[in-house]
């Protein structure tokens, strides 16, 4: 039996879960073996990551997720900015940023940032329309 045929030893089912870390609210959804953790901004996602147990060391969370065959996607404005756990594939950027075993997705970070800037620019227009 290969990895894709095996069932995960742990499955998470949720439709409405909110975690709060250091005052940052994170919405959590799941598909059983994949968790989607949504932060409002890239800044909030970084703040949460810096305050996880282990003095900024993602190895504890990544090891737990991998051991239970789970994957967590950290998302901002619907864009995946990082992947941790069983399906994470860290590369050059993750090593350079010192966040391996997490996989950083540069396109997601840039897309979330641009979306945030666009939303901030649009807010005053809505006030005066």
Phi, psi of 71 (to 5 degrees): -130, 135
The 8 Å CB, 24+ separation contacts for 113-121 are 113/42, 115/77, 115/79, 116/41, 116/42, 116/76, 116/77, 119/77
pLDDT digits (tens, 9 = 90+) for 35-82: 999 999 988 988 887 776 543 455 678 888 888 889 999 999 999 999
C-alpha to C-alpha distances, 85 to 30, 103, 117, nearest whole angstrom: 14, 9, 30
The whole model's pTM is what? 0.77
């Amino acid at each position: 039996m290969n990895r894709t045929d095996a069932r995960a030893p742990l499955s998470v089912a949720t439709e409405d879960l909110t975690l709060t870390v250091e005052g940052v609210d994170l919405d959590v959804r799941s598909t059983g073996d994949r968790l989607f953790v949504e932060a409002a901004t890239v800044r909030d996602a970084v703040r949460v990551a810096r305050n996880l147990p282990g003095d900024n060391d993602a190895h504890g969370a990544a090891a737990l997720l991998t051991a239970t065959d789970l994957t967590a996607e950290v998302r901002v404005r619907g864009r995946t900015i990082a992947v941790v756990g069983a399906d994470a594939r860290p590369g050059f950027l993750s090593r350079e940023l010192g966040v391996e075993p997490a996989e950083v997705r540069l396109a997601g970070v840039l897309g979330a940032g641009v979306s945030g800037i666009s939303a901030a620019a649009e807010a005053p227009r809505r006030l005066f329309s």
